[in-house]
């Protein structure tokens, strides 16, 4: 078909008179027009058969037989919780057969409920135990605890020693056998170690006292030497300003009598104090 | 029914209201069945296809936004199913054969047996020629000439401009008529009876 004028007029919705005018002057389009009329004749009067009441009932029943994706959400939740009725479950299963997305969602949710919590690693348990706040004890529990019994024993032993008595002898005289089991064991501990502990305490105290004494002595000697140096400078008419470095005749150039005996390299006072 | 009324109808269907779904079925049930019948040409297949279409409508209610007439939306939802069924039928060897039963169901009752026979023969010729026409042309002719859908409804359903719908319809009608004419001409040609007889005997 080379002439498309008839088709153009039809698509444009032109009046039949225009199509007829063209058809009368174009043999090709006249033949096409005859074909169209023939088809129209064949088609006219053809009607599809009526739908049956059975089909209507089947169509009406669709919502009760299946679910759509919107309804499936709530039904899946009920299914996972095990709170779904038989009819609703049938609707949902029917929907699953047609909708892989909802079926997959349901499977995933069901699988998630069956998951087992993994065992915590050992380090986590340790950390949790370490971070637990200390348990508060009542005053009576604290006062009667095993540690406090030992403390009482030490205190009693020291008191006895201060009074000039032998703690072991005192305990023996006091009737050791009549004491309770826990007290007895505490006294045994105290008896066996109190001498050593007191000896160690005394030794440590003496050592600390010696250090304090040394420091005080050292500071005192340093103070005395500084005072002498000041007096020396004030008495000397030609006392120069204090040299700033050893090259200029600093500490190394000071007279031997103002150097502190026993001080390493005669350090300046301020430096040692800082230490 | 206006577009807003149609949107409201769909909304009520989504809420699960039985009366709304009944309205929808009664409004479109016959139309859908007619389209399904013209694509399948068998009662049982048309009923099965209609159920499939309404099932899909039910599953896709949330997709209707009221943007165009409900009939066009129903048609757009059913189109792929109809075309699938049409292609399946086309693969069958008997696709071009249209039974008496298939066309008789579409014809009005006729007292005159001669007239009834002529109408039946014409209807068979029509559907046989339609089977040879390209699918996109046959589809338009079924929707417009056999089911009476409007151009804009067909255009919206098939996502085609109205001009394209009209152009395809024009070509579909012309093509169907041309094939019918050619068959009649070959039937009336000298020696046609002999060639038909030889074909029937398996000699050709």
CB neighbours (10 Å) of residue B164?
17
Specify if A238 maps to a domain.
no
- For B:123-142, CB contacts with A below 8 A are 123, 125-126, 141
Q: For B110-204, which CATH class?
A: mainly alpha
Q: Is the pLDDT at A245 greater than 80, yes or no? A: no
Q: Is the pTM above the cut of 0.90?
A: no
Reported as a pLDDT band with limits 50, 70 and 90, residue B199 is: low
Average pLDDT value for residue range A28-49: 85
Residue B141 pLDDT: 94
Is B30 an interface residue toward A (CB < 8 Å)? yes
Confidence of residue B13 (pLDDT cuts 50, 70, 90): very high
Tokens of A14: 């032109």
Whether A83 is covered by a domain: the verdict is yes
d(CA B169, CA A271): 111
Determine whether domain B1-91 maps to CATH 1.10.1740.10. yes
Domain boundary residue, one of A183, A202, A224? A224
Give B76→chain A minimum CA distance, Å: 18
> Are A84 and A78 a contacting pair, CB within 8 Å?
yes
pLDDT in tens, B98-142: 888 888 888 888 778 888 888 888 888 899 899 889 999 999 999
Give residue limits of the domains in chain B: 1-91, 110-204
CA–CA distance, B82 with B92 (Å, rounded to integer): 16
| Helix, coil or strand: residue B107 | coil
pLDDT tens-digit readout, A3-15? 888 889 888 888 8
B138 Cβ contact list (under 8 Å, min separation 6): B86, B130, B131, B172
Q: How many domains does chain A have?
A: 3
**Tokens standing for residue B135:** 């699918």
Average pLDDT over residues A214-229: 66
Name the residue range of residue A16's domain: 5-40
Residues 3-22 of B with CB under 8 A from A: 14, 16, 18, 21-22
B13 burial type by CB count under 10 A (0-12 exposed, 13-18 middle, 19+ buried): buried
Per CB-CB distance under 8 Å, the chain A contacts of B143 are none
pLDDT range class, residue B49, cuts 50, 70, 90: very high
Question: Domain boundary at A112, A134, A163, which?
Answer: A112
A38 vs B34, B59, B180: nearest CB? B180
The residues, ordered by sequence, that sit 6+ positions from A194 with a Cβ below 8 Å of its Cβ are: A153, A154, A157, A167
From chain B, the residues in CB contact with A48 under 8 A are 33-35, 37-38, 46, 105-106, 146-147
In a domain, A231, yes or no: no
Q: Domain for residue A63, yes or no?
A: yes
A167 in Cβ contact with A191 (< 8 Å): yes
Please report the DSSP string for A34-103 in residue order. Answer: HHHHHHHHHHTT--PPPPPHHHHHHHHTHHHH---HHHHHHHHHHHHHT---HHHHHHHHHHHHH-HHHH
Enumerate residues 6+ apart whose C-beta is below 8 A from B78: B32, B35, B36, B53, B56, B57
Among chain B residues, CA nearest to A13: B166
Shared domain for A82 and A12, answered yes or no, is no
**Contact between residue A224 and residue A260 where contact means Cβ atoms under 8 Å apart:** no
Eight-state DSSP code of residue A145: S
Residue range A173-198: mean pLDDT, rounded? 61
Structural contact between residues A266 and A260, judged by C-beta atoms closer than 8 angstroms: yes
Say if the ipTM goes beyond 0.90.
no
Work out the pLDDT band at B80, boundaries 50, 70, 90.
confident
Q: Tokens standing for B102?
A: 């298939």
Closest residue of chain B to A55, computed from CA coordinates: B47
Are A72 and A107 in a shared domain? yes
Q: Is residue A172 pLDDT above 60, yes or no?
A: yes
List all residues 6 or more positions away from B68 whose beta carbon is below 8 Å from its beta carbon: B3, B156
User: Which residues 6+ apart lie within 8 Å of B3 measured at CB?
Assistant: B66, B68, B69, B70
Chain A residues inside the 8 Å CB shell of B147: 48
Q: Which residue has the tokens 């120069």?
A: A240
* pLDDT tens, position by position, A60-88: 999 999 999 888 999 999 998 888 999 99
Same domain, A64 and A35: no
In sequence order, which residues have a C-beta less than 8 Å from that of residue A232 and are 6 or more positions away? Answer: A239, A258
Given a contact cutoff of 8 angstroms between Cβ atoms, the answer to whether B131 and B90 are in contact is yes
Return the closest-CA partner of residue B122 out of A42, A181, A40, A117: A42
Dist. CA A242–CA A261, nearest whole Å: 21
Please state the rounded mean pLDDT for residues B13-33: 94
Residues of A at the B interface, defined by Cβ within 8 angstroms: 1, 6-7, 10-11, 13, 32, 34-36, 38-43, 45-52, 54-56, 58-60, 62-63, 66, 68-71, 95, 98-99
Of the candidates B70, B30, B80, the residue with the CA atom closest to the CA atom of residue B50: B30
Do the Cβ atoms of A42 and B126 come within 8 Å?
yes
Among B107, B130, B177, the strongest candidate for a mutation testing the A interface, having the largest count of A CBs within 10 A, is: B177
- Cβ-based burial of A275 (10 A; exposed 0-12, middle 13-18, buried ≥19): exposed
| Nearest alpha carbon to residue B21 among A75, A57, A50 | A57
Percent of chain A with pLDDT over 70: 64
Task: State the nearest Cα–Cα gap between A15 and chain B, in angstroms.
Answer: 15
| Alpha-carbon span A114 to B189, nearest angstrom | 78
Task: Answer yes or no: do A9 and A71 share one domain.
Answer: no
Which residue in the set B37, B54, B167 is minimally distant from A48, CB to CB? B37
Helices (H), B60-111: 70-90, 100-104
Does A166 or A236 have the greater pLDDT score? A166
Q: What is the rounded distance in angstroms from the CA atom of residue A11 to the CA atom of residue B174?
A: 14
Closest residue in chain A to residue B144, using alpha carbons only: A43
């Amino acid at each position: 078909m080379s002439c498309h004028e008839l088709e153009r007029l039809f698509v444009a919705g032109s009046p039949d008179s225009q199509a007829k005018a063209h058809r009368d002057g174009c043999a090709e389009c006249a033949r096409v027009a005859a074909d169209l009329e023939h088809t129209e004749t064949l088609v006219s009067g053809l009607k599809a058969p009526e739908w049956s009441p059975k089909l209507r009932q089947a169509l009406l029943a669709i919502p009760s037989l299946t679910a759509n994706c919107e309804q499936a959400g709530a039904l899946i939740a009920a299914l996972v919780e095990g709170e779904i009725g038989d009819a609703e479950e049938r609707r949902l299963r029917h929907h699953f057969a047609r909708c892989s997305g909802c079926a997959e969602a349901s499977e995933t949710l069901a699988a998630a409920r069956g998951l087992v919590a993994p065992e915590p690693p050992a380090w986590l348990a340790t950390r949790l135990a370490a971070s637990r706040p200390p348990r508060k004890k009542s005053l009576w529990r604290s006062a009667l605890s095993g540690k406090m019994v030992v403390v009482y024993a030490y205190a009693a032993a020291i008191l006895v020693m201060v009074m000039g008595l032998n703690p072991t002898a005192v305990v023996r005289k006091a009737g050791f056998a009549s004491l309770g089991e826990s007290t007895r064991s505490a006294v045994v501990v105290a008896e066996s170690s109190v001498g050593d502990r007191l000896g160690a305490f005394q030794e440590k105290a003496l050592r600390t006292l010696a250090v304090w004494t040394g420091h005080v002595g050292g500071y005192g000697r340093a103070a005395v030497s500084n005072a002498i140096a000041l007096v020396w400078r004030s008495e000397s008419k030609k006392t120069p300003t204090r040299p700033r470095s050893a090259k200029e005749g600093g500490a190394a150039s000071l007279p031997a009598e103002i150097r502190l005996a026993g001080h390493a390299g005669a350090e300046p006072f301020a430096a040692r104090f800082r230490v | 029914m206006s577009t807003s009324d149609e949107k409201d109808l769909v909304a009520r269907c989504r809420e699960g209201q039985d009366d709304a779904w009944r309205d929808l079925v009664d409004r479109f049930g016959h139309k859908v069945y007619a389209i399904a019948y013209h694509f399948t040409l068998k009662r049982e297949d048309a009923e099965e296809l209609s159920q499939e279409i309404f099932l899909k409508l039910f599953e896709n209610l949330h997709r209707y936004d009221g943007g165009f007439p409900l009939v066009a939306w129903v048609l757009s939802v059913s189109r792929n199913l109809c075309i699938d069924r049409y292609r399946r039928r086309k693969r069958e060897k008997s696709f071009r054969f249209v039974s008496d039963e298939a066309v008789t169901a579409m014809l009005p009752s006729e007292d005159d047996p001669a007239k009834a026979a002529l109408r039946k023969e014409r209807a068979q010729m029509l559907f046989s020629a339609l089977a040879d026409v390209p699918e996109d042309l046959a589809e338009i002719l079924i929707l417009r000439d056999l089911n009476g859908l409007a151009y804009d409804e067909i255009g919206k359903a098939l996502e085609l401009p109205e001009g394209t719908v009209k152009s395809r319809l024009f070509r579909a009608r012309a093509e169907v008529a041309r094939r019918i004419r050619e068959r009649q001409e070959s039937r009336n040609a000298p020696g046609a009876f002999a060639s038909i007889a030889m074909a029937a005997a398996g000699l050709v």
